[in-house]
Structure 1
Amino acid sequence: MAEMKFIGGYPENMRELIEVVNKTRDKRKDYTPTAMTAEQRKEVLEVHPDYAPGGKRELSVGINKGDTGPNEVIDLLEAYPLIEPGDIDLTRADYEVDLLIIGGGLAGTSAALWANNEGIPADKILLVNKLRHGDSNSIMAEGGTQAADRENDSPAIHYIDAMGGGHFTNKPDVLKGLVEDAPYIIHWLKEMGAMIDQEDNGDYVERWGGGTCRKRMHACADYTGLEELRVIRDEFRTRGIGVFEHKPVIELLTDGAQKVTGAVAWNLETHEYKIIKAKATIMATGGFGRLHIRGFPTTNHYGATYDGPVVAYRAGAKLRDTDTVQYHPTGAAYPQQIIGLLLTEKLRSMGAQPVNVDGEAFVFPLEPRDVEASALIRECYVRDKGVVTPTGMRGVWLDTPMIDVKNGKGSIEKAFPGMVRMFKRFDIDIVADPVLVFPTLHYQNGGIETDPQGRTNLDGLWVAGEVSGGVHGKNRLMGNSTLDCLVYGRRSGISAAKYLKNGAQFGNLSLDHV
């Protein structure tokens, strides 16, 4: 077999297809496909993975019995626990704290800060993480954080955008809290030292997101989540708040009824159970990308395995919107080593166009994510106008060089330094050449049902971030995830602190629900 020849990171046959994109770029620079009508969106969503046959079933146990969800999710919710209750000695606790926080991303870490701000001493707060503190989807977030802080915008307009993006299934009061707190959150991040992109005059650089009618995306180049968590985690460590790493929580403890009283953690290094007694608990364990639902690759980190909803559900917590999954439209489809990694929506907001094998821009670049992802799938598998890689992966081109055409030379390197470096490892120059993309498993739309203060139906249990359900409904817009973590990290931390200051006491420790 002849050796495959590569030119600029691409095999020869793909290089020929890139030339088709290059030749049509000048014709496309002043053309953008029209946004879809409601009817057109409904039609294209028929190819969305959520609607494909055979991938879902009804939940047969618990408070949400009868709800549907992906098979991979239902398998976990119906599974037997990892422990035998009789093997755990609950007569004494290894640790006693006022506030236990499970999860160390943006939501959990910010919750700890806000509880401390409200008067809960640092030595009475304990954050427990499955991996290292900060190993999370948060640090992989690239595109930005939404906040309506311009004169032509308002939280009400932000609310309408998010409600439409969620197909009007969002919990109204929870979404209201998200959009109302957003401008303050950006101010708080800036005060903490986050390097948010600014114009020369000091105004924030704000860009479009899919499904938005105003520019309100605040970014830190293309490592927004990493930068936001940097300043928040630094403050966390400065305050001396307790943290356990490599200790996943494998069950919640209750008082035998509807009150959460702590958790059982597993020490990955010593292989020992640790009993944590807590007056209040905040769950912030993130999403489920590593379940690889329907076999999709994912943008998520290795700890995103749906632990939080599973243990909370066994304790009696109510879930919602378990039936929908968000697939980000533009995951890497080439090279093989990075398949599924996130190529932020910000690329499209700055001018990069999805382009098919014939060099045609076939979809409005900033449709809501479920619509955009469906359009890419349709182009590859229904219309057969995708590009096939040497491994058989299909995708369409994302014409990244168009960003410099529309915004001036150097715009890509300034706005996406991390992405430029990542592709250069594979000898691909995204300034000169397009990249191949296909939808990738990205976000858990639903989760543990929350109220506007992060409370659940269980006494003593709060939720924040991707583990929660209600704020996004059945589809999330770009920039509302990091915002969710920060707003509901704050709200849950404050609410739990008030609960503690109102005289909350330790409860009995039981695994009867298991």
Structure 2
Amino acid sequence: MRESIEKVNATRARRLKEGPPPPMTPEEREAILKRSHPDYKPEGKRKLAVGPSAGEPVPHEVADLLESHPIIDPKGIDLSRVDYDADVLVIGGGGAGTVAAIFAHEEGIPVDRILIVTKLRHGDCNSIMAQGGIQAADRPNDSPAIHYIDVMGGGHYANKPELVRALVTDGPWIIRWHEEMGVMYDKVDGRYVEAHGGGTSRMRMHSAKDYTGKETFNAIRDEARNRGIPVLEFFPAVELLLDERGHAAGAVLYNIETDEYRIVRAKATVLATGGFGRVHIQGFPTTNHYGATADGLVMAYRAGANIIDMDSVQYHPTGVAYPAAILGQLATEKLRNQGAMPVNKDGEAFVFPLEPRDVESAAIIEECWVKNKGIETPSGIRGVWLDTPMIEAIHGKGAIKKSLAAMWTMWHRHDIDITVDPVLVYPTLHYQNGGVEIDADGATRIPGLFAGGECEGGVHGKNRLMGNSQLDYNVFGRRAGISAGRWAKKAKPKGLSLRHVIEYEKALDKAGIKTDRRAPLILPDYRPEDVRKRHLEVI
């Protein structure tokens, strides 16, 4: 590895002078995706055999979850004993869920009639881990219309246009709202410092150094706490409840600490359960937090919601490939928009640094495994160099610690100085592009069920652009919360039922699916198979 680093050092001056390779043409992008992106491997997917989106191709890991038995026996659940009664139930304590709860309150729902339930702690989520920034078109040379074109192009024009319109139109307002709550975005002389993300035609990335997610989520969570919105921690939902008309009517919760179930009756339900990184699609490591196991997808699908764009997965181009202790963690795109260039083992640049994420990932995979120009680590992982010393060569000494402090700290803990040496990267599972289908108000096809954030789909099409996930959870968390509040004012649930779970079991049997799998997963199990086989249940 050190020999290869010396080659990177030797070519740096030339690359600084010449600049990066040019962006690919649309035809070149399509060709490299088909050759080398994991989404284009037909053996990685199968068509769903049951449910409202039967026949749609999804990764095997997602199909395994959706074609699983429930973890509860509906006959053993006493629905007559309601433990919590709410107007608006929010399932998920991340960014989208917290925003939804705030705007349900803004819509006039009293705080004691709102309930957030979350699998782990309030804030154990992908939202708080986001680094690079949030997009919003607020410069004189930019507009929501230009942002719209970028988003549609990045998603290969598979996005739902009405959702993209909502995303880009609400963006500038979201930034203003954040600042009203105290979010400190980077500024110089009172003006936002904005940068490019991969696949963007304008600089519209607002950031707070390289811990934007932490800065924004802390302000949002503080707002919810100041309002007194109640939160149940360590209480994941395991099934949605419907009423006799098929309307959303609450959820069955599971207490992780005591193994008890609880019943929540609600007039409106917001699903904000995040993505599926910890399912490890095609064996990829992930940037996602420990609870990202697609639970909301499972529950909504079983209850009758459509899913959309679940045949595509976002692999972030630059996950950590070395050292092994932080394998798969995020090396933010901001490293590349500040000048760090991906180079191969010979120190040669091979791809424009800010291609759309799917294209950039495909190029890195191809460089490592087709052209055999990657660097292999002692643990057998391959990667390419991200030439981080270029950042200070461009912006001056101290630039990395000033604007990329989290990145500097992450590698410094492992005795790697990114101001001196390049870092080894390889694509990592980062984002669930698709999800539960919603409309522009955050409504699903199930009356009374709304969704926001990574668990919903249709916004990003087949590929998400950098900074649009932070925008997504704010825009559609807000819209889902407003819609849920309005629905709750007129809704009158009629009974509680798990009949849909029983019917789904019948559908599995009719489709000939014989399995002992159960879902939702709740938490990943990283024990080796031989250990799991010898598991002893202690009473």
Inter-partner Cα distance in structure 1 for 2:42 and 2:473: 33
Please name the residue that 1:385 is paired with: 373
Return the match for 1:142 from 110, 122, 131.
Answer: 131
Return the match for 2:4 from 5, 10, 17.
Answer: 17
**Deviations 1:309-341 (Å, cap 9, x if unpaired)?**
100000001111111101000000000000100
Please name the residue that 1:261 is paired with: 249
Please name the residue that 1:6 is paired with: none
Inter-partner Cα distance in structure 1 for 2:304 and 2:162: 23
Q: 1:53-202 maps to which residues of 2 (within 5 A)? A: 53-199=42-188, 201-202=189-190
Please name the residue that 1:315 is paired with: 303
Aligned-pair CA distance for 1:145 = 0.2
Return the match for 1:29 from 16, 35, 48.
Answer: 16
Contact 2:243 2:493 in 1 (8 A): no
Inter-partner Cα distance in structure 1 for 2:495 and 2:325: 49
1:469 aligns with 2:471: no
Q: 1:244-323 maps to which residues of 2 (within 5 A)? A: 244-323=232-311
Task: Give RMSD over aligned pairs.
Answer: 0.8
What is the aligned residue count? Answer: 499
1:507 aligns with 2:494: yes
Please name the residue that 1:8 is paired with: none
Q: 1:186-225 maps to which residues of 2 (within 5 A)? A: 186-199=175-188, 201-225=189-213
Inter-partner Cα distance in structure 1 for 2:195 and 2:494: 48
Paired letter, 1:127: I
Aligned-pair CA distance for 1:345 = 0.6
Please name the residue that 1:3 is paired with: none
Inter-partner Cα distance in structure 2 for 1:506 and 1:321: 31
Paired letter, 2:124: D
Contact 1:248 1:266 in 2 (8 A): yes
Q: Relative to structure 2, which stretch is displaced further, 156-165 or 43-52? A: 43-52
Contact 2:234 2:257 in 1 (8 A): yes
Contact 1:256 1:513 in 2 (8 A): no
Inter-partner Cα distance in structure 2 for 1:363 and 1:223: 26
Please name the residue that 1:4 is paired with: none
**Deviations 1:363-419 (Å, cap 9, x if unpaired)?**
000000000000000000000000011111000000011011111211111111111
Contact 2:247 2:493 in 1 (8 A): no
Return the match for 1:432 from 417, 420, 424.
Answer: 420
Contact 2:197 2:466 in 1 (8 A): yes
Paired letter, 1:37: T
Contact 1:262 1:280 in 2 (8 A): yes
Contact 1:256 1:511 in 2 (8 A): no
| 3-state SS, counterpart of residue 513 of structure 1 | helix
Aligned-pair CA distance for 1:25 = 0.6
Please name the residue that 1:451 is paired with: 439
Please name the residue that 1:11 is paired with: none
| 3-state SS, counterpart of residue 69 of structure 2 | coil
Could you tell me which runs of 5 or more consecutive residues in structure 2 were left unpaired when the two chains were aligned.
502-539
Q: Relative to structure 2, which stretch is displaced further, 378-387 or 52-61? A: 52-61
Paired letter, 2:217: L
| 3-state SS, counterpart of residue 54 of structure 1 | helix
Contact 2:245 2:494 in 1 (8 A): no
Return the match for 2:343 from 333, 355, 359.
Answer: 355
Q: 1:357-376 maps to which residues of 2 (within 5 A)? A: 357-376=345-364
Contact 2:278 2:290 in 1 (8 A): yes
| 3-state SS, counterpart of residue 263 of structure 1 | strand
Could you tell me which runs of 5 or more consecutive residues in structure 1 were left unpaired when the two chains were aligned.
1-13
Inter-partner Cα distance in structure 2 for 1:110 and 1:52: 37
Aligned-pair CA distance for 1:257 = 3.9
Give the percent of matched residue pairs that are identical in Structure 1 and Structure 2: 62
